[in-house]
Structure 1
Amino acid sequence: MLGGNLKLTTVFGIEIKVNVSWVFIAALLSWALAKGYFPVLHEGLQQIDYWSMSIIAVLGLFASILLHELAHSIVARAFGLEIKSITLWLLGGMAEMRDEPPTPKAEFLMAIAGPAASISLAGLFYLTGVALGSGGSAALIGLVASYLAKLNLVLAIFNLAPAFPLDGGRVARAAIWSATGNYQRATDIASIMGSIFGLGLIALGLISLLTGMGLSSLWLVILGLFIRFAADASRAQAQAKHTLAGERVSDIMTANPICVSPDIPVAHLIEHYMYKYPFEFFPVVDNGQLVGSVSLHEVKRVPPGERGAIPVHQITRPLTDDHTIGIDASAAQALAQMQATGQSLLMVTRGQAIVGVIAMRDILRLVTLKTTLANS
């Protein structure tokens, strides 16, 4: 993922985020539409009209991708899967799903929901374009609607390509999973299909670039690189989960971690904890109850001259579900949570008390060790 993500709003309890790459794609697409596409379709307008149409079209694309991802998420929730957030980025969108689909049927229905939404939107925009295409200022909105109809149709068709992690690849995984009864094998095959598809897009983009098709060919290369990377990452993630089967968080965690009191001064934290222990952060515990954590990131915000007077509780990072996991959870669940939230460490809890800490490196070390021994 490029850059950082910004939270926009919450829909149906799902956080809607936008990656900063959307600023780039929005500006580039608006410019291309205002300078090239709409002037060809309708000559003689002022630049402000072309730019207005382009901005509306970009916002329409944004909304279309969001509705595409919401369709996936609503079906996923119907099968009891937790969808925490949706992130819209440079080339589309991605829903953050903590667990895998429970059955091939669930996988199929979740996958097909996105293209179905895009096809429905294409039809709606097409009818709007026809209705407004009689002339006058309404016809300009009709041109935008017709453009969005084509774009949603292309989005649906492209996503139906049998290449994981595209929706068509997930449909393929559901079919293979149903036929073989083996989720791991289905994921492997669908991921290989996605990797090959990504290589094909890269090759097509490079050939188009070398034969004078213009810099737009680079989009095929970028898209191919993303699909290949995502397919390979999905396959590795599935293999890791398979390897971790039966392993519990309690088996891997570091028990009884060093904790700090919220009442000690920041200077005491630095002198007696940060200088002494090579840990990335320290859990903050008040009367046996975990209340948050503190790290160098929070400490360095306190001016050196004030560190002796400011207590730790004033800079403590509040406790969230992203930073904790229950002791009864599986190691695979811990890995999935870390990958979804970007955390490299999780605090392991029993009720309101902390009982350990689990790190990404510890999980990956176990995966590597078990894989090596299994192949020896």
Structure 2
Amino acid sequence: MKGVLNLGKLFNVKIEVHWTFIFILLWVIFLELKSGGTLQNAMMSIVFIALLFTCVVFHEFGHILTARKFGVTAKKITLLPIGGVASMETIPENPKQELLISLAGPAVNIFIALILSLFINISFFFDQDPKQLEEALSHVTPQNLLIYLFSANIALAIFNFIPAFPMDGGRVLRAILAMKTDRVTATNIASGIGQFIALIFVFVGILYNPFLILIALFIFFGAYGENKMVRQLALLKGHKVHDAMLTNISVLKPDDTIKDAIELLLSGTEKNFVITQNSQIEGILYHQNIIKNSKKPDIALQDVMDRSFTSIDVNADLKDIFKLINTEKRDFFVVKDNNALVGAIDLSNLSEFMLIQANLISR
């Protein structure tokens, strides 16, 4: 993702802050100064935000470390103004495993709140009259920082239990439903509820807090995306690469030129080409390589082809290839059978295969 600040790695997971995170810091400073706070109050609010998002990171690691027990890995955590996002390769289709992974995040926040409660002088807040208490909590201070963090972690746990995709509560709901019905139906119900809740957030946000509109958009499109993904994977279930791969592909040689590739590009529908020499795959010439070097028609393909390509087995599950396409930057892969080139598969052909399967199912 572009426009991120890399904070380093923990448990072999990269932690990044998206550039839009600066908006929440500016917004906090603005609200603090607008309410009559001092610059010191604003700085304490920033300290609180930093600590709060540290708790968000721990929340995401709750998901990640639990997922690892089921063989699911994550490459990074990205911090956004609306929270954290763990980029996990996939979510287990076993509902019990998904349930445990989904519960792990809020459980971390509850655990943090319990630890913080041991260091909070609750009597200090109960011994004051309402006016004094309002004054004591009007701004973030060193004295009330822990109570703020305690309350925020409780709020995070409760908020994440809202049954709306892609939040934890939505996944918990989907997991529970999937124990009684199929995953597609469970996802459809859970995502529908999530989108309905998102619409409520929009109306409440218009009336009271515009920030809720941003959260609503995240929930609405997240629910839509999850539902679409699950439906697509269901269409591919039980099918192998050989069911959807391209077999009539053009093959070029390393000493062919960009001019040769352009002629093939314009004469047919292929956009990516396999480069071979003596029946061995030497590399892939991607569409962007052709366009980028179109002003140099005489350059040899061996000088511009991509040698770091991924090949897949002809008998691999299509579901796994679909996930691979969605996690890697490339959407074109060579297909081998016993180390011999037998074809290729790309996102376009895979999409056409899913459309045909959807039409067959709807009959």
Answer whether TM exceeds 0.5 for this pair: yes
1:233 to 2:233 alignment: no
Check the 8 A contact 1:256/1:355 in 2, yes or no.
no
The equivalent of 2:32 in structure 1 is 37
Do residues 298 (structure 1) and 294 (structure 2) align?
A: no
Is 2:186 aligned against 1:186?
A: yes
TM-aligned CA distance change 1:340 to 1:130, over 3 Å: farther
1:281 equivalent to 2:272? Answer yes
2:22 corresponds to which of 23, 27, 43: 27
Deviation of 1:233 (Å): 2.3
Q: Which residue of 1 aligns with 2:315?
A: 328
Taking only aligned residues, the RMSD between alpha carbons, in angstroms, comes to 3.5
Contact 1:5 1:87 in 2 (8 A): no
Measured after TM superposition, the shift of residue 221 of structure 1 is: 2.0
The residue correspondences of 1:200-279 to structure 2 (distance < 5 A) are: 200-206=200-206, 208=207, 213=208, 217-255=209-247, 257-265=249-257, 267-279=258-270
Q: Are 2:57 and 1:66 aligned?
A: yes
- 1:166 Cα offset (Å): 1.4
Post-superposition Cα deviations, 1:102-147, rounded to whole Å, max 9, x if no partner, equal 422211110001111222334455666769x9xxxxx955655544
> CA 1:62–1:260 in 2, change beyond 3 Å: closer, same or farther?
farther
1:136 corresponds to which residue?
A: none
1:249–1:331 Cα contact (<8 Å) kept: yes
What's the offset of the Cα at 1:77?
A: 1.4
Contact kept in structure 2, 1:130 and 1:142, CA below 8 Å: no
Find the counterpart in structure 1 of residue 129 from structure 2.
none
Among 293, 312, 316, the alignment partner of 2:301 is 312
Counterpart of 1:197 in structure 2 is 197
Judge which range, 104-113 or 334-343, deviates more.
334-343
CA contact (8 A) 1:250 1:328 kept: yes
Cα distance in 2, alignment partners of residues 281 and 122 from structure 1: 53
- Aligned twin of 2:160: 159
Contact between 2:262 and 2:290, CA under 8 Å: does it hold in 1? no
Q: Is the 8 A contact 2:3 2:19 kept in 1?
A: no
Aligned partner letter, 2:194? G
Question: Are the counterparts in 2 of residues 39 and 50 from structure 1 also a CA contact under 8 Å?
Answer: no
Change (3 A) 1:374 1:128: same
Q: 1:358 to 1:28 in 2, by over 3 A?
A: same
Alpha-carbon distance, 1:298 to partner: 3.4
Give the AA of the match of 1:23: W
Using the TM superposition, give the Cα deviation of residue 332 of structure 1 relative to its aligned residue in structure 2, in angstroms. 2.2
Structure 2 letter corresponding to 1:329: A
Q: What residue is the counterpart of 2:133 in the other structure?
A: none
Tell me, yes or no, if the aligned pair for 1:57 and 1:144 is still in contact at 8 Å: yes
Residues 218-244 of structure 1, C-alpha deviation per residue, up to 9 Å, x if partnerless? Answer: 222222222122222222222222222
**2:105 is equivalent to residue 95 of structure 1:** no
- What secondary structure is seen at the aligned counterpart in 2 of 1:317? coil
Deviation per CA, 1:151-193, whole angstroms, max 9, x where unpaired? 3332221111122321112112222222x15333322222222
**Contact 2:23–2:81, Cα closer than 8 Å, also in 1:** no
Residues 1:357 and 2:344 are matched in the alignment:
yes
TM-score norm. by structure 1 comes to 0.76
Tell me, which stretches of 5 or more residues in structure 1 are unaligned?
Answer: 134-138
Worse-matched range after superposition: 82-91 or 231-240 = 82-91
Residue ranges of structure 2 left out of the alignment (5+ in a row): 125-139
Aligned residue runs from structure 1 range 71-82, under 5 A: 71-82=62-73
Q: C-alpha separation between the residues in 1 aligned to 2:147 and 2:300?
A: 60
Number of equivalences:
346
CA contact 1:86–1:93 (8 Å) conserved in 2: yes
What is the alpha-carbon distance in structure 2 between the residues aligned to residue 159 and residue 40 of structure 1? 29
Amino acid at match of 2:19: V
Task: Please give the per-residue CA displacement for 1:274-331, whole angstroms capped at 9, x wherever unaligned.
Answer: 4444433223445544454333433455594x663x54344333525xx554322222
Deviation at 1:51, TM superposition (A): 5.2
Report the secondary structure of 2:58's partner residue: helix
The sequence identity of aligned pairs, in percent, is: 26
